[in-house]
Each structure stands twice: as C-alpha cells, then as structure tokens.
Amino acid sequence: MYVIIVGAEVGYHLAKALIKEGHEVLVIDKEAEPLSRIEDELGSICSQGDGCDISVLREAGAERTDLLVALTSADEDNLVACQIAKHKFNVPRTIARVSNPQNEALFRKVGIDVTVSSVKLILENITESILTHSLTHLLSLEDSNVQMVEARILPASPVAGKRLRDAVLPAGSLVILMIRNGAAGGSDFLVPAPDTLLQIDDRLIVVVKKEQEEALLAAFVTG
Amino acid sequence: MNILIAGCGRVGAQLAMLMSAEDHQITIMDADSRAFSRLNTDFSGTVLVGDCTSEASMREAGVVEADAFIVVTDHDNANIMSAQLAKHVFNITKVVCLLHDPERADFYRAIGLETVSPTLVVAQLLKDKVIG
C-alpha cells in the first residue's frame, strides 16, 4: 500500500510501523524539524508542505494513494486534508485523528473514517487488512487488565484446519465468538465449541488477561 | 434575519456592522474578546467569545435559531470545518464561508459549500489599477 501521513509528530510512529510491514509511506508536515528526525531514521520519505494544500497533495502522489492518515493536532486541518484526499483525489480510505471527541460526528457525516487520540487506535483501524501478526484490541475491561481482542486465523496459523480444542489457550482466556465469512459475502457469527473446525480467515473474539496476550498470539497466530 | 457571524476580524466586524445597520439580529463570535473592539457603538447585536469549530460553542451562540451563518475567520480550515458543522450537524440552509485559498474555495464550492474567495478578486482589482 502507498500511505500518505499528514503530521510528522505522531506520524513518525505510524510511519515506522507501516514501513516495518512493508508499505510505502510519505510523511508531510509544514515544519522541517519533525521531518528531519524521520528522515534520519527511516530514510527519504518526507515532504515539507501543507498537507491541506491541493498542489502539495498532488505532488505527493495523492492520486495513487491507498490511504491518507491525517494526524495533526488541529482537527480542522485533519478534516480538510481527508476531504480533499477523498473528493479531489479519490483516495479510497481516509483516517483522521480527532482530538475533540465532539467533532467525531461531523467527520463521520462527511465520510471520513475516524479515530480518536492514540496511534494505537489508528493502527487497529487499518490492522484488518495490513498488520497481520498481531491481535486487534477491541475493548479494555477491568481497568485494562483484561482485554477483548480479535485474532485472525491466517494460513500460517498453528490451528488452521484444526479444532478449537487443539489450540493451546492460555489459562483464564475465553473464546466468546467466531466470525466467519458467509456464503453470500456477509459475515456469520458463531459461538465456537471445542470441536469447531477453525478455517483460514476466521476471526476469533477472545477475552484474555493482559499478561496472557503473548501466549494467545502464539496459540492462534504466530505459533 | 437572525444571523450568526463567526470571526470578528476586519471583514467580520465590517460585515456585522453593515448588517446590524439594516436591522438584522446579529450575533458575532470570536475566540478572542479583544476582536470585538473593532465594532463601533452603532453595532446593536450580541457578541460572544467562542470557538466556531466547537459544536458546544456554536450551540451557545444560537446557531440553531440562525437563518444564516457566515464564517469569516483568518483560517481557511477553521472556516471550512465551522461551515460544515453549521450545514451538516445543525442543518442551517444558508451557510457562507470565506476562503482565502482560491484552490480550496473552488474545491469546496464543487462539493456544495457556498464560498467567497477574495484573493482573485483583489488581485484583479490591483492589476486593473496598474494596467487598467
């Protein structure tokens, strides 16, 4: 994927994560200083300019971009960057950082995929199609000691083609739901039983203690 | 008419005074209270300190009762966000947005926002003064 990130301060972290996954990234910022840190560490992936400016986005290759992520500290700048990307350059997916949660409604109304505050949430928004070797965090429970996560069964999964009871689950974790691609293109929801056969692309919703996440990852994803 | 103006800079203040002189009910908002010093004593409307990109501030400014909303701050992106807030969240029919960047003005006009862009008009006027 080719991803344009607007806003270098928070963008640095996202750029790093995306490059690690093998994607092409360009970071745009008005200021040279936050960009130079990225250049030093990640290479020539920066462009200094106003990410809300149509000519700047054009030069950045917005037309061929798969995703634009606007991460500046100003909600209005993120709004404009995403709208221009979407409606001028037909960028298929746009994600905006929204600092004031009250603004979320407006962002959604104009067709922007929204995330609030942390980079973690952004990563999880794009996790489904990109980051494959991790659990998607859905919900924190019990003061964040317990997490509800989603694990996707990939071809390389140790339990692909096996039954749920064959998975070495960490103690105290609970698989509460399975989502499977349905015949007609939608999703089927099932409550998995021990003898449920796990297929590639199945998604398992699991409740797990924070310290057991690694073990869960090993059981379902990495082996 | 009941009109809400966001931005009490030079343009906003002039606009507020013009409309107030024509007996419209004007409320003008600005994030900086010092901006209201631009209004002369003939201004008979209401002033309010607030952020036009904040839903709560806009509500406090009475946007819901407004017949028209005009946003004229110095910051194009704030104007865009505020105008769309008025249009899509508060469903105000008459929304006008000042945009200094002509490219952005064209773009937003194309997606349905009523925009006024002084830049090209002024450039043309200045050119006419010199070249005629």
Q: Give the C-alpha separation, B128 to A98, whole Å.
A: 44
**Residues whose CB falls within 8 Å of the CB of residue A196, separated by 6 or more in sequence, listed in order:** A163, A164, A178, A190
Q: Give the C-alpha separation, A125 to B66, whole Å.
A: 37
Judged against a pLDDT cut of 60, whether residue A119 lies above it is answered with: no
> Whose CA is closest to A210, among A137, A117, A129?
A137
B103 contact residues in A (CB cutoff 8 A): 53-55
* Token duo for residue B109: 């006009």
Please name the member of A83, A87, A106 whose beta carbon is closest to the beta carbon of B89. A106
Largest CA distance in chain B: 49
How many Cβ atoms are within 10 Å of A67's Cβ, its own excluded?
A: 23
Average pLDDT of span A15-21? 91
B80 contact residues in A (CB cutoff 8 A): 76, 79-80, 83
- Bridge partners of A5, per DSSP, are A27, A69
Interchain contact A197–B (C-beta under 8 A): no
* Token duo for residue A39: 């250049």
Q: Give the C-alpha separation, A12 to A40, whole Å.
A: 11
Interchain contact A110–B (C-beta under 8 A): yes
Average pLDDT of chain B to the nearest whole number? 95
B85 contact residues in A (CB cutoff 8 A): 106
pTM: 0.71
> Whose CA is closest to A8, among A77, A61, A86?
A77
Q: Which residues 101-130 on chain B approach chain A with CB closer than 8 angstroms?
A: 101, 103-104, 107, 110-111
Identity of residue A53: D
- Band of pLDDT at residue A58, cut at 50, 70 and 90: very high
Interchain contact A99–B (C-beta under 8 A): no
User: What percent of chain A clears pLDDT 90, i.e. is strictly above it?
Assistant: 56
Identity of residue B114: E
| The pLDDT value given to residue A101 | 73
> Whose CA is closest to A74, among A47, A98, A110?
A98
Please name the member of B55, B56, B78 whose beta carbon is closest to the beta carbon of A76. B78
**CA–CA min distance B114, chain A (Å):** 16
Lowest mean pLDDT among A121-135, B38-52, B107-121: A121-135
Judged against a pLDDT cut of 60, whether residue A128 lies above it is answered with: no
Coil/strand/helix, residue B13: helix
Strands of A146-152's sheet, edge to edge? A136-141, A146-152, A203-209, A174-181, A187-190
| The pLDDT value given to residue A210 | 84
Inter-chain contact B104–A75, Cβ cutoff 8 Å?
no
Judged against a pLDDT cut of 80, whether residue A161 lies above it is answered with: yes
**What is the distance in angstroms between the CA of the first residue and the CA of the last residue of chain A?**
27
Q: Tokens 């590639």, residue?
A: A200
Inter-chain contact B81–A102, Cβ cutoff 8 Å?
no
Coil/strand/helix, residue A106: helix
Coil/strand/helix, residue A221: helix
